[in-house]
Amino acid sequence: MSEFKGLLFDLDGVIVDTAKYHFLAWKQLAEELGINFTEKDNERLKGVSRMRSFEIILEIGNREMSEEDKEMYCTKKNAVYLEYIKKLREDEILPGVKDFLVHAREKGYKLALGSASKNAPLILNQLKISDLFDEIIDGTKVSKAKPDPEVFCKGAEALGVPYEQCIVFEDALAGVEAAHNGGMKAVGIGLPENLPGAEMHIPGLYAATIEEIVAKLG
């Protein structure tokens, strides 16, 4: 085995494409509030917490709201989002993800999820892959959002692996920065121009094995 011992995975955009469901739920709320919210705007919400996402939507609509009302609308959005998540099927897992996780475990790596989503455990359950992770750090366990490294540091600590022996898999720039802020290497899932700074880039977990990644990072 390599000098790397822990693998930390973002959820949305790495394991499963939930961005489309977040969009549908936010869009419904934005319409109710008379705010024009587009798919392009939705890009800004990737990797961002639920409350911060809503604040961005309010900024787009040039609106202000009390903290109490913001909480109320976030709860409402989540109820709509959960309706989609309850219907999430196993085959919506992104290509190659399951094989990658199973193989990495067989090779002795420790695996953790590091996600801003408070719904992460439910999503993993729907996809029937909860058991493939040794530890799950979700949005309920962190107080600081990416690019703060808290979510990945907690993941590494839960795995009992030093930060510098962890590799982070991320599709959002803030997530790549979070990895670096924690002293970890980052594999960018996506195009190099969208994720500058990541030590390597792949289009998805189907595109490389853990051995190939480690060989490149080492």
17 Cβ contact partners less than 8 Å away, ≥ 6 residues apart: 92, 94
> Residue 137 carries which DSSP code?
E
Give the residue carrying structure tokens 């930390």: 8
Alpha-carbon torsion (91, 93, 95, 96), positive or negative = negative
HSE-up of residue 134 (Cα within 13 Å, Cβ side): 20
**Interface with Mg ion (CB under 5 A), residue from 6, 13, 149, 188:** 13
Shortest Å distance, C-beta 76 to ligand BG6? 12
177 binds Mg ion (CB under 5 A): no
12 part of the active site: yes
Our CB check for ligand BG6 shows the closer of 48 and 111 to be 48
Binding mask 108-127 for ligand BG6 (x = CB under 6 A): -------xxxxx--------
Our CB check for ligand BG6 shows the closer of 100 and 119 to be 119
17 part of the active site: no
Contact 169, 7 (CB under 8 A): yes
Site for ligand BG6, rule CB under 6 A: 11-12, 22, 45-50, 53, 78, 115-119, 139
Query: Which residues are marked as active site?
Result: 10, 12
